[in-house]
Structure 1
Amino acid sequence: MGHQISRRTLFRTASGLAVAGALGPALTACAGGTGAGSDNGSLTMTWWGSDERHAAYKKALATFEKNNPKIKIETRYSGYDGYFDKFNTQVAGGSAPDLLQMDTALVAQYARKGILAPLDSYVGNSLDLTGFSKTLLAAGTVDGKLYGVPSGIGVNQLTVNRSGLEKLGLKLPDREWTWNDLKDIATQVHKKSGGRIHGVDDGGGSTLQCFEIFAREKGQPFFSDDGKKLGFTADTLQEWWEFWASMRKDQASPPPAITSAAHNDLTKNAVVIGKALFTFDSGVYGAGGSITDAQLDFLPTPQGDFSGAREGNFVNGGVLLSATKASKKTADSVKIMDFFAQDPTAIEDMRLLRGIPPTEKARSLISAGLNETDRRNMAMADYISQRVAKATNALPAPVPPPKGADQIWDLLFESNLAVAFGKKTIKAQLSEFFDQAQNILAG
């Protein structure tokens, strides 16, 4: 119930990551607004998500209102599609909500346009962020100020059909695995299955879940700090595409027709349809549950195989809770943020519906009530976040995606397909990719 099959929509719902859309020039002038919230004096709160997330929010907020009878909350919720279009219209008309669920990919754009309220003066007073790591809080921090409280730990990991592996007599790889280890196990899957199953879906065009980490392992971010150019080199992308060309040649990854069909439809994902046992698409198991009956497990994105490889994994903040600057109820909105961050009732009501809980306290509170797959999912996210925190050679967390990022992510996917279908050579596609990407960022 509540499932939305769009690949991007499910990924956003589960982890908060999304493409960075244009906000429109009219919003700058209206950022101060003439007021926000409900005409009847209630505090208005909006969010997007599945039916399960809606129900959990409403249950938790009922408890908050019982404990804070002077604060009345009017809730508005929807799916992700159209959520920010509606918010933009409300901001322009001076009727923005007081408190909203914010996307980590968009927080910088809204903060810099003066639409969101800085929260720093509340931290340590009415907003208790004990247990939140600096890395995690960075997801809601723009130009040194906090504009959003992270809901959870968002990590990039592979989803694995563990039962399928076991049927072939293969074991789940070690967590400290490499790209060569991935190629080895994926090749074994194809061989052991008699050619019926490929090992892993084609990651050559997968940006957020794998190429960005591969580039970071070489010390190269996806975007430059100012967002005006790409942060990785042509040599890095060439090596990436050559790796996946080799994977397709060895049947370790499926042919391009399967990859193309699954791009915006998770029901056609290679793991879901039984054509692969490993997938980079985290939407297969997210906030709405699983869309496959297979017994699942999880692994970090592989590490670099070369000397001097850096930690490429990173942690993002799930979704955020932010207050609008025009609101006259910011102090009350902060109380609600604090409630979701620290109150045991709210933590238990939300469970994994806004991502893996952000603190050790919260994760401990919910662990006993989780099913086996949820526990594995949470344990892997916890493992990755601890590994990133301990790493001395990791890059800083990625900067918020610039305007046009969604077009570049799509361009990477389509470019990999052009190579896979044999329409372009890798070198020809490299030149075209960098030219088009730079034009997008310059626009």
Structure 2
Amino acid sequence: MQQGRNVERRTILKAAGASLAVAGLGATATACGGGSGSGDGTVTIRYSWWGAEDRAERINKTIALFEKKYPKIKVKTDFQPYTDFWKKFNTQASGGNPPDVFQNAIGFLRKYDAKNVLLDLSEQVKAGNLSMDGFRAGLEKFGEIDGKLLGVPVGSNSMALVIDKPVYTRAGVKPEQGWTWDDFDDAMTRIRDRTGRAGDSGMYGVMYLYDLYLRQNGKAFFTEDGLGFSEADLTAWWTKAEKGVKSGLFADPKKVAQIKPKSALSAELAGSEFTWDNFTVRYTSEGKSEYGLAPIPTTDGKRTGQYLGSLMLSGYKRTQHPKEVAQFIDFMVHDPEVAKIMGYDRGVPTTQAQYDAYRPTDPVNKAIAAYEQSLVDAGVLETITPHPNGADICETAFLRIAEEMALGERSVDDAVKQFFTESKTALAG
């Protein structure tokens, strides 16, 4: 699934689209991490994340708790807006001086593992410096790639349909677990005809929603080494989305572009929008209506293809202080006080201890917690689709090309061909 909620998912991979130079990273084979030590045994580790001031304030409070528990470990912090974070990280990694521990996401694991950037935390688990026990709903496996533990999740989220509740009520639509895509199409028609508003903001570029649709049909967006769908599959998906716009079921893409970074849902251009469940806070702050979370439509009335996953903490492979990095990550994912400070800023806490420690009282965060619990109770959660090296570039291309198509700058056929051309190059690197 937070700071920058209005841009984080849309821009989640744009800044990392430029690949790290192999030669540049190869030259760091004997380089050391940026942490430092002092004569009294105190060490300093560098911790970086993307976010705005509100997240920084919360994280700095948790660091104060950590340094109190571990007085011999000091944490030097750095944060940037999302796009700037990855620009800076790429520069640091190319120069052999990335932070010792940093915020990460699933789309980057194979990429930076292939570039020898990520620390395998498995050894620290064996040494007792990091516990992978007590995680919710299988999240302890979220950061595992090829038998290596490359990231530890700090917050969970899942895809959802965020709805304008009064609009759905006026249209007589009540989404329930197990509703189908046919039901969804009927709902879009009802909303358009009964409220005069487009049913949805549009599904062109929501890559993770398309992934769920593919998973419902026995495929997936990614396999371990490439794309898991054909040009014909994507043509059908984007053709349906285009027809939805022309018929008024989905919002006018040009109007949606004009009101950015505000969402089409909160701007009252649409009655709903597919996004991550913990982004609901965004709509409440932007819009004037009451918003809720609805289940993902299904193909067969059962399988949604959903999984839990969110932000992670990863370490630098050549850090001078792997033990301290592991202890820091362990504290951040297990300590109950951290959960009380962070709330759902990075998603729902991933460990049961932190989940129990923070029980939201506001309606929005209570709804997020209830939604994720409903997924567990319904038994729909699956393992996340593997992301190959180059996945970040594929997602950037999917987002950009889909928007170009939505704005009438490309035909569906041209958009599909362009996406597969760019993805083939990205995944071959």
In the alignment, which residue of structure 2 is the partner of 1:347? 339
Q: How does 1:165-314 map to 2 (within 5 A)?
A: 165-166=168-169, 168=170, 170-193=172-195, 195=196, 197-208=197-208, 210-227=209-226, 230-261=227-258, 265-267=260-262, 269-282=263-276, 285-286=280-281, 290-305=285-300, 310-314=303-307
Alpha-carbon distance in 2 for matches of 1:10, 1:430: 20
Q: Which moved more, 1:148-157 or 1:84-93?
A: 84-93
In the alignment, which residue of structure 2 is the partner of 1:397? 385
The SS at the match of 1:160 is: strand
Aligned residue pairs, count: 420
Task: Say if 2:14 and 2:83, in contact at 8 Å, map to a contact too.
Answer: no
The SS at the match of 2:82 is: coil
Alpha-carbon distance in 1 for matches of 2:31, 2:256: 46
Task: Say if 1:187 and 1:250, in contact at 8 Å, map to a contact too.
Answer: no
In the alignment, which residue of structure 1 is the partner of 2:130? 127
Runs of 5+ consecutive residues of structure 1 not aligned to the other structure: none
Task: Say if 2:134 and 2:353, in contact at 8 Å, map to a contact too.
Answer: yes
Normalized against structure 2, the TM-score is what?
0.86
Q: Does 1:358 align with 2:350?
A: yes
Residue in structure 2 matching 1:438, options 419, 424, 427: 424
Alpha-carbon distance in 2 for matches of 1:163, 1:401: 43
Question: Share of identical aligned residues, percent?
Answer: 25
CA drift of 1:152 comes to 1.6
Deviations 1:386-408 (A, max 9, x none): 546x56xx575232462531343
Alpha-carbon distance in 1 for matches of 2:238, 2:294: 22
Alpha-carbon distance in 2 for matches of 1:54, 1:217: 38
CA drift of 1:38 comes to 4.3
Amino acid at match of 1:304: T
Q: Which moved more, 1:379-388 or 1:60-69?
A: 379-388
Amino acid at match of 2:93: V
Amino acid at match of 2:219: Q
Q: Does 1:141 align with 2:140?
A: no
Alpha-carbon distance in 1 for matches of 2:192, 2:345: 35
In the alignment, which residue of structure 2 is the partner of 1:89? 91
CA drift of 1:146 comes to 0.1
Task: Say if 2:187 and 2:199, in contact at 8 Å, map to a contact too.
Answer: yes
In the alignment, which residue of structure 2 is the partner of 1:326? 318
Task: Say if 1:46 and 1:100, in contact at 8 Å, map to a contact too.
Answer: yes
Deviations 1:176-205 (A, max 9, x none): 221111111111111111x2x111111133
Q: 1:134 to 1:119 in 2, by over 3 A?
A: farther
Task: Say if 1:298 and 1:377, in contact at 8 Å, map to a contact too.
Answer: yes
Task: Say if 1:128 and 1:338, in contact at 8 Å, map to a contact too.
Answer: yes
Task: Say if 1:297 and 1:376, in contact at 8 Å, map to a contact too.
Answer: yes
Normalized against structure 1, the TM-score is what?
0.84
Alpha-carbon distance in 2 for matches of 1:63, 1:395: 33
